[in-house]
């Protein structure tokens, strides 16, 4: 969509979140709240995206394809958009103004909104909503001919105006020149002593321009979040959208309401995800993999036909090759598990490389803590077709060769050659008559 810029208002502190972190920077399904808005803006066709940040949060956008404008003092939404004007100097087109705390916005809705604005030929178009439940939002006040006359904030509204059901979503499309002129006319004579962006509507109309409102077909998507309860509600909605997209693409999610999948997760067709499973970060799963129930995977790579869980935890850097298994109460971190290798239960594998076709028995642990503080962790290497015993420990750096066996209860501190049996445990000794002597005492 050509000749379109977006201004994302992200300068607020979000005090109602009761958090040291501004509301738009809280994590939400693998992104920050504001990232959902930025992605929707880019995908809607905005050629330029300007984020209006506070002085304390300007660095939060380093490395992203956005321009950052700083709102020095939190003097209201009008001041926020005015702070973006130097970045848009000379821009002659349409300006999409968005709330950084509205993560449910979609690019499809924004594209339709901008198209309605252009078809209507107005100087400003407001995205309005009519929710089922009343919200403390500004009211859209229309003239007799149906055009928009002004927006009145709830704190400044009369009882008659408060009864209006059509609400301002705080999302707009402005003609860039009309916006500049109206911003220059704002004042802070209102209940909050701030510069209201909503007042630009009356200024545009008063100068002979035109304003219109387009009712969103979805009253939920434009709504911003202000507290933790609303953040949780937004998360549930995004969870449902993500899960539905995966299911329509050929993934089986047994219970979508208890399955949480981040936006960056990639699942191929015929993956099966069982209830109470969490897939986070850049986790990927190939066709035929079965995950859960009660499994967690973070930045893990899961190969074809891999079996995971229940109660399995795959930490960042885990790679499971095809037909591998990570079973019940298994934790794996920064390790590669070879094709067909099985870690069935009750083991921790960290900083390790395990070959193909190996069986790791119950209660195995790779001890990879550095011997000298400050040194990198050592790695454990276990070859192909190895058979470990129960309650084995491997003190890195150590290597176990192909086809080797490890005796139960052994703590391996030295390399085990291929095909050998590694035994590292005290010899058992039985004290005959010990129990009788204890009772005699």
What is the residue-wise DSSP string for 71-85? -SS---HHHHHHHTG
C-alpha of 28 from chain center: 4
8 A C-beta contact, residue 79 and residue 97: no
Q: How far apart are CA 48 and CA 39, in angstroms?
A: 12
Containing H/E element for 437? helix 434-440
Q: How far apart are CA 439 and CA 395, in angstroms?
A: 41
From the candidates 24, 345, 371, 391, which is the catalytic residue?
345
Q: How far apart are CA 364 and CA 408, in angstroms?
A: 10
Paired tokens of 40? 């929707």
Q: How far apart are CA 28 and CA 232, in angstroms?
A: 9
Could you tell me the strand order of the sheet in which 296-298 lies?
260-261, 278-280, 296-298, 313-314, 331-333, 348-350, 365-367, 393-395, 411-412
Provide the pairing of β-strand 167-175 with 94-99: antiparallel
Q: Give SS3 for 218.
A: coil
Please indicate whether residue 345 is annotated as part of the active site.
yes
Alpha helices in 163-219 (DSSP H): 176-183, 199-206
Residue positions annotated with a catalytic role? 345
């Amino acid at each position: 969509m050509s000749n379109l810029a977006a201004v994302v208002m992200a300068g607020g502190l979000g005090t109602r979140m009761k958090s040291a972190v501004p509301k738009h920077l809280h994590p939400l399904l693998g992104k920050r709240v504001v990232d959902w808005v930025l992605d929707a803006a880019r995908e809607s066709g905005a050629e330029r995206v300007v984020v209006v940040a506070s002085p304390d949060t300007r660095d939060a956008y380093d490395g992203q394809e956005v321009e950052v404008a700083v709102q020095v003092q939190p003097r209201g939404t009008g001041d926020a958009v005015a702070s973006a004007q130097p970045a848009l100097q000379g821009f002659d087109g349409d300006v999409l103004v968005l709330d950084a705390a509205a993560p449910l916005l979609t690019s499809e809705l924004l594209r339709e909104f901008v198209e309605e604005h252009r078809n209507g030929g107005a100087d400003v178009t407001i995205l309005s909503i009519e929710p089922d439940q009343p919200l403390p939002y500004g009211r859209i006040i229309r003239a007799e001919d149906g055009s928009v006359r002004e927006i009145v904030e709830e704190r400044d509204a009369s009882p008659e105006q408060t009864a209006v059901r059509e609400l301002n979503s705080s999302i707009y499309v402005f003609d860039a020149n009309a916006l500049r002129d109206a911003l220059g006319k704002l004042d802070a004579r209102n209940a909050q002593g701030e510069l209201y962006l909503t007042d630009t509507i009356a200024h545009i109309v008063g100068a002979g321009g035109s304003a219109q409102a387009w009712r969103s077909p979805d009253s939920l998507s434009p709504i911003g979040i202000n507290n933790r309860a609303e953040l949780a509600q937004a998360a549930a909605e995004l969870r449902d959208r993500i899960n539905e997209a995966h299911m329509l693409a050929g993934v089986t999610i047994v219970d979508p309401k208890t399955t949480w999948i981040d936006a960056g997760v990639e699942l191929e067709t015929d993956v099966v995800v069982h209830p109470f499973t969490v897939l986070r970060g850049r986790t990927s799963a190939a066709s035929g993999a079965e995950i859960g129930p009660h499994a967690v995977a973070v930045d893990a790579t899961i190969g074809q036909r891999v079996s995971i869980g229940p109660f399995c935890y795959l930490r960042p850097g885990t790679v499971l090759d095809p037909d591998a298994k990570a079973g019940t109460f298994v934790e794996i971190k920064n390790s590669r598990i070879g094709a067909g290798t099985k870690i069935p239960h009750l083991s921790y594998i960290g900083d390790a490389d395990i070959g193909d076709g190996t069986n790791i028995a119950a209660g195995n642990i790779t001890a990879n803590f550095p011997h000298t503080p400050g040194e990198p962790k050592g790695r454990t290497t276990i070859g192909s077709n190895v058979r470990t015993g129960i309650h084995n420990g491997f003190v890195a750096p150590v290597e176990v060769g192909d086809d080797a066996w490890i005796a139960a209860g052994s703590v391996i501190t030295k390399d085990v050659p291929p095909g050998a049996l590694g035994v590292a445990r005290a010899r058992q000794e039985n004290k005959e008559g010990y129990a009788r002597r204890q009772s005699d005492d």
